Chain A
Amino acid sequence: DQQVKQNSPSLSVQEGRISILNCDYTNSMFDYFLWYKKYPAEGPTFLISISSIKDKNEDGRFTVFLNKSAKHLSLHIVPSQPGDSAVYFCAASAGLYNNNDMRFGAGTRLTVKP
């Protein structure tokens, strides 16, 4: 079952512009959300997270927004750089300390053009 959905398989933006990656979830028990970045032939690496007590978390060029009522979160990258080109996975779990049921979306391939 697809409890975490990333409906856009790909996104292309110009260098310097904003990249917005979207993610929707269906399980109302999810309260901890993460974004991972994955380069080809490598494992995903953790990028940024947010718990349900917040609606925004920022780390440098990366900001994650959470809209609990809409069960939607988004990752903003400003400004986008060519090195940001990768597949981005959204993930969610029920409980900050419980990753045993972490669910991942199918991923969005971001291409940042110079």
Chain B
Amino acid sequence: SQTIHQWPATLVQPVGSPLSLECTVEGTSNPNLYWYRQAAGRGLQLLFYSVGIGQISSEVPQNLSASRPQDRQFILSSKKLLLSDSGFYLCAWRGWTGRSSGANVLTFGAGSRLTVL
């Protein structure tokens, strides 16, 4: 079965410091991968998605970047964090659930809570 791993689970960083969040998927090949952010009181905002190695699409301009160095690895980075980067970051992959009521859906990792001070 497919599993998705994210780390670290919790991170507290000072303003201006770098960031690296990692996500890996097991049990599937060539998945579409996504980074979402949930800010306090807001819905899930799509940040980046990737349809293959080295292919990154950005949804919003910001000081974050993403990379996909391997088929099942997706990395979210920043060179200098801002206070507004605080939030709950979620990695997801797209696939079929195999259930009749849910076909092509996003499966999320457990998330990474980032607090920028």
Contacts and interface: CB of A to CB of B under 8 A. Distances in A.
A58 B101 CA distance: 8
Residues of A in contact with B, size category = 20 to 34
Interface stretch (B11-19, B39-47, B65-73): B39-47
B101 A42 contact: no
Contacts of B76: none
Contact of B110 (A2, A41, A46): A41
B102 A49 contact: yes
User: What DSSP secondary structure best describes chain B's contact surface?
Assistant: strand
Residue from the set B6, B103, B105, B108 with the largest chain A CB neighbour count within 10 Å: B105
Nearest to B6: A43
B106 A102 contact: yes
Given A4-B43, A49-B103, A49-B105, 20 more contacts: A6-B43, A9-B41, A34-B102, A36-B108, A43-B111, A45-B108, A46-B97, A48-B102, A57-B101, A91-B44, A97-B104, A99-B34, A99-B105, A99-B106, A100-B32, A100-B49, A102-B46, A102-B106, A104-B45, A106-B43
Interface of A: 2, 4, 6, 9, 34, 36, 41-49, 57-59, 89, 91, 96-97, 99-107
